[in-house]
Chain A
């Protein structure tokens, strides 16, 4: 079989030179370690999660492992808690990304126009980006508490002993504030890169033709940085959908602030329900895929730009 088919390609295609064959081999050798590492920690455990998800398997009683088919999935999908956490996760994602897009865009415009103190601005905007998310969570949690914080004292119309973490809405707002503070710089830097690509000539031409500032913004600037906006939204949305650290630190899931990532963590690590936890892991993975797919479809994101192909 092989002896019959092997010579065929050389007959039809140009002969592959030794050099390009060596290049092919070197290229594959150079990427091999990266591929192996990425698969070891993602694909392999994911397959294992799929396998474990069809068992009733608790680490507290590992010998009682029992094959239960899809019943873990059924339990999860029929439990209102699953849908409630999914709903709140989508809420976190939509609100934080929308707010960050607006604030990030304003920041990017300022940074693009500013001619003084560029180093100072760059430095300060990188501090929230670099700071540990858990630290941001603590800083904001303490800021919102009535015992030691300052938010109640600064906000008009809020009584001094208002407990932000006593009910869902205000607790969700506090979590979102921390998330937005920490990740807006990333958004604004991506948007700044997009702004830098817009030619000044085009803006001047629009101005000469009598376009107002508002018209220039909507007809020239935003359409021309569409790729940058879409990439920033895609990255941040998927990041926000995985929100975990801030919830862990600020409410520990209390007051129905729990996200889908947090629910999965709680089932697996705190309650040792590896079977159920794995089913939730698979559902989490699938929902991230779905969100990515929807964003790419909805906004027709040019993935080649994100991957800097070509």
Chain B
């Protein structure tokens, strides 16, 4: 019993985590006609395997031309927001980890408050403000809120990493005549790069996942990101969503996440746990 506990646990974790993913992949291969008629079961029933048809359709059919555009929007907006957010957070986290200054408590308290902020309560005023500023339904209109809401996570993760850096090297550089700023840029930035990279991954996940801002602050396909665009898939029957096409689109939107997770799982776990619980 005791020896079997861990292997069974591992099996349960794997099934729990992967079953819904396998399911959505399986659904994406059910043919569109069979899904409209009803095609229950985990795997496509006999003769209803559509191959790559659903993928072809969501990527090339004129009816769904908003989806390829949404992929571009999502990639562009998420990458820009991630880059800017990580730059701003790196500056702040360096100050928090290394410098004594007034207002340190304020940043930490504010980040904590914002991490818990109910985003939906902001969309009304933001909707109004963004229309006044002329950035409603633009990339910028989404990049700004994504930056603000990823900053807390990025600042925590980064300041946790920065505390582990051997700072004597910075002092050594200063003894050799470098200013505080030079020591930061030439010595610390290269040392901090792995932490910065982890913060960037977590930030990217947030931006890629966002739905509330995506659906409220866009009105056309010019800035609508993938999660919001998925709500606009309509099939022949307006009351019955085209499940297999949606599944194909969902799988496409998950590919970047799976690649990042496969490549950087160790870093992501380190980042998630260091940011939230002090080790």
Residues of B close to A152: CB separation below 8 A: 40
Give min CB distance, A182 to chain B, whole Å.
9
Residues of B close to A3: CB separation below 8 A: none
Number of interface residues of B (CB under 8 A): 106
A: contact size bracket:
35 or more
On whether A131 and B257 interact (CB within 8 A), knowing A24-B100, A245-B212, the answer reads yes
On whether A242 and B40 interact (CB within 8 A), knowing A38-B148, A46-B125, A110-B9, the answer reads no
Residues of A close to B265: CB separation below 8 A: 119, 122-123, 126
Is the Cβ of B91 less than 8 Å from the Cβ of A37? no
Residues of B close to A193: CB separation below 8 A: 273-274, 276-277, 279
Give min CB distance, B247 to chain A, whole Å.
7
A303 contacts the other chain (CB 8 A): yes
Is the Cβ of A308 less than 8 Å from the Cβ of B261? no
Q: Which stretch of A73-81, A91-99, A134-142, A164-172 is in the interface? A: A134-142
Is the Cβ of A34 less than 8 Å from the Cβ of B269? no
- Most B Cβ at <10 Å: residue of A126, A145, A265: A126
A19-46 to B contact mask, C-beta < 8 Å, 1/0 = 0101111111011011101111110111
Residues of A close to B258: CB separation below 8 A: 127, 130
B145 contacts the other chain (CB 8 A): yes
A153 to B23, CA, bound (A): 14
A235-260 to B contact mask, C-beta < 8 Å, 1/0 = 10010011011001100000000000
Residues of B close to A284: CB separation below 8 A: 118, 120-121
Contact of B13 among A31, A125, A308 (CB under 8 A): A125
A62-104 to B contact mask, C-beta < 8 Å, 1/0 = 0000000000000000000000000000000000000000010
Smallest CB gap from A52: residue in B: B125
A297 contacts the other chain (CB 8 A): no
B30 contacts the other chain (CB 8 A): yes
A113 to B92, CA, bound (A): 37
In chain B, positions 30-67 with a C-beta closer than 8 Å to chain A are 30, 35, 38-42
Give min CB distance, A231 to chain B, whole Å.
6
Give min CB distance, B98 to chain A, whole Å.
8
Contact of B110 among A35, A160, A181, A189 (CB under 8 A): A35
A1 contacts the other chain (CB 8 A): no
A60 contacts the other chain (CB 8 A): no
Contact of A26 among B20, B116, B180 (CB under 8 A): B180
A156 to B172, CA, bound (A): 69
A72 to B156, CA, bound (A): 38
Contact of A123 among B89, B101, B120, B261 (CB under 8 A): B261
In chain B, positions 179-218 with a C-beta closer than 8 Å to chain A are 180-181, 205, 208-209, 211-212, 215-216
Residues of A close to B114: CB separation below 8 A: 38, 42
A121 contacts the other chain (CB 8 A): yes
A224 contacts the other chain (CB 8 A): no
Is the Cβ of B41 less than 8 Å from the Cβ of A150? yes
On whether A231 and B20 interact (CB within 8 A), knowing A38-B148, A110-B13, the answer reads no
Contact of A248 among B27, B116, B127, B211 (CB under 8 A): B211
Is the Cβ of A31 less than 8 Å from the Cβ of B92? yes
B149 contacts the other chain (CB 8 A): yes
B262 contacts the other chain (CB 8 A): yes
A131 to B275, CA, bound (A): 20
Is the Cβ of B118 less than 8 Å from the Cβ of A52? no
A133 to B119, CA, bound (A): 15
A48 contacts the other chain (CB 8 A): yes
Smallest CB gap from B229: residue in A: A134
A301 to B50, CA, bound (A): 53
Is the Cβ of A27 less than 8 Å from the Cβ of B209? no
Is the Cβ of A131 less than 8 Å from the Cβ of B40? no
Residues of A close to B42: CB separation below 8 A: 150, 153-154
Is the Cβ of A48 less than 8 Å from the Cβ of B257? no
Contact of A37 among B12, B24, B144, B243 (CB under 8 A): B144
Is the Cβ of A114 less than 8 Å from the Cβ of B6? yes
Is the Cβ of B107 less than 8 Å from the Cβ of A31? yes
In chain B, positions 235-279 with a C-beta closer than 8 Å to chain A are 240, 243-244, 246-247, 250, 253-254, 257-258, 260-262, 265-266, 268-269, 272-279
Is the Cβ of A139 less than 8 Å from the Cβ of B250? yes
A14 to B246, CA, bound (A): 67
Is the Cβ of A185 less than 8 Å from the Cβ of B17? yes
Is the Cβ of B121 less than 8 Å from the Cβ of A30? no
21 A-B Cβ contacts within 8 A? Answer: A30-B92, A38-B151, A38-B152, A52-B125, A106-B9, A107-B9, A119-B265, A128-B20, A132-B227, A134-B227, A134-B250, A139-B20, A143-B23, A148-B39, A190-B272, A231-B277, A242-B119, A274-B124, A280-B121, A285-B117, A306-B276
Sorted nearest first, the 3 A-B pairs with minimum C-beta distance are A27-B101, A110-B9, A281-B121
Task: Given contacts A37-B88, A41-B122, A264-B123, list 6 more A-B pairs with CB under 8 A.
Answer: A40-B144, A45-B122, A131-B21, A189-B272, A248-B231, A264-B124
B residues neighboring A (CB under 8 Å): 6, 9-10, 12-14, 16-18, 20-21, 23-24, 27, 30, 35, 38-42, 88-89, 91-92, 94-96, 99-104, 106-112, 114-129, 144-145, 147-149, 151-152, 155-156, 159-160, 180-181, 205, 208-209, 211-212, 215-216, 226-227, 230-231, 240, 243-244, 246-247, 250, 253-254, 257-258, 260-262, 265-266, 268-269, 272-279
